[in-house]
Structure 1
């Protein structure tokens, strides 16, 4: 199932910049988890599927779920952690880009994190085939990242 989910993530990320960021973050998480939780038997298999066998690209969302599953975390807290981490990342990026200040970011996070349980609730009713989103403008802008003189982020 992980391999299938990884392939779906790969097909939903239409540009190379988003795909590269997702796989780098996923691989980094897999490496860190395998080192920290070296007694958990699933993690070496995950690393093998990503690195040695090459049957998985190791997208972040899939690796996050696999690591949480290997640690026997329940689904609902795992989804909440993933959504909270995603929110935190977006807000931190807005601060680094200078679009919001640190205090405004804290207020924004406080308001938005209250929405996470309801987002987790309605998204849990969706199938894997329903969870992708296409934003052509965002894809186009992301594709320009490698041609920029100065890159803002390197994931």
Structure 2
């Protein structure tokens, strides 16, 4: 196994202090619906998120951010476009908060480029959406674009499933079965061509509505 593949494993690991544990990305809202949330419905929801939100939105933003490298002006345009293409406020704010948490970890680790990114967010040049931060930082670490997309796609599924486990809706074995079933979906979506321009398409209304309902809940385990 090459160092690059080991590096990809490090950053895909849920033990990496990315702050992602604080976000359910709509799963807690789904769990609160009258229909509830079981393993089959979670698998369906997670696949919908990967196919119809991540693949056409966050994945595209990450790829373009990776290609932009340390060009803050280009990163800012990608960031602003992703902001405009994310109508659900809990998802929009969650992405920015999660991006900030990931960046904080990389600042402490001394990742190249983390300092300028933090400065740009602090002075308002960047919003710091998670996908943009991922693309810029992972490129600075030497990870190839394809590996970055696979990491992010895997983390999307793993994060949704982990939230359901913490909420007590599924068990650990069911969680791993869902992840295994969705790995081919992640691989398929990650390998799809990237548009030449950062034009985003996303349509996952059920989980976004659930996230907006969750934002008004009195008691919450997760930030979104």
Answer yes or no: same fold by TM over 0.5: yes
State the Cα distance separating 1:143 from its structure 2 match. 2.0
SS in structure 2 of the partner of residue 115 of structure 1: helix
The residue correspondences of 1:1-155 to structure 2 (distance < 5 A) are: 1-38=74-111, 40=112, 42-51=113-122, 53-122=123-192, 124-127=193-196, 128-129=198-199, 131-154=200-223
TM-score, L = length of structure 2? 0.61
1:70-113, CA deviations, whole angstroms, 9 ceiling, x for partnerless residues? 11211111111111111110111222233322111111112212
CA separation of 1:77/1:50 partners in 2, compared to 1, >3 Å: closer, same or farther? same
The count of aligned residue pairs is 150
2-structure distance, mates of 1:107, 1:137? 23
Q: Which runs of 5+ in 2 are unaligned?
A: 1-73
1-structure distance, mates of 2:86, 2:128? 13
Question: Pairwise CA RMSD of aligned residues?
Answer: 1.8
State the Cα distance separating 1:23 from its structure 2 match. 0.6
2-structure distance, mates of 1:141, 1:118? 27
2-structure distance, mates of 1:11, 1:137? 19
State the Cα distance separating 1:34 from its structure 2 match. 1.6
2-structure distance, mates of 1:143, 1:136? 10
TM-score, L = length of structure 1? 0.86
Q: Which runs of 5+ in 1 are unaligned?
A: none
